[in-house]
Structure 1
């Protein structure tokens, strides 16, 4: 999965109808909540990355999530 495909899947899981920007802050995304985090974990599973929920809770931006997924954001 490419970084772009990852961002598309993540946006779907967060239930956004727009693309995500790596520089976007999670606090600026009203849909980013505990349910969205669980959805994000499923996207990590799709790429075979092991991430814990507390690691996602510590993320501040989409770039942080991309880094956890192994992408050079």
Structure 2
């Protein structure tokens, strides 16, 4: 059995909560129809999130580096 970190459990709970909240939106059926049942949208969102996280790390490292030189 694989051990799941507390952060992974927290992230999953957040994702489920967010999904349920969006499912309550008046446009939920329209959005679901637009996204379809495939994994393409999920993969695209995942890749965007990873790229955004990397960008945030890079920006923070640049910020710290500039502060260290002062």
Whether the TM-score (by the shorter chain) exceeds 0.5 is no
TM-score bracket for this pair, using the shorter chain length: under 0.3
TM-score, scaled relative to structure 1: 0.26
Is the radius of gyration larger for structure 1 or structure 2?
Answer: 2
TM-score, scaled relative to structure 2: 0.27
The structure whose RCO (Cα within 8 Å, separation 6+) is larger is: 1
Name the one with the larger helix percent: 2
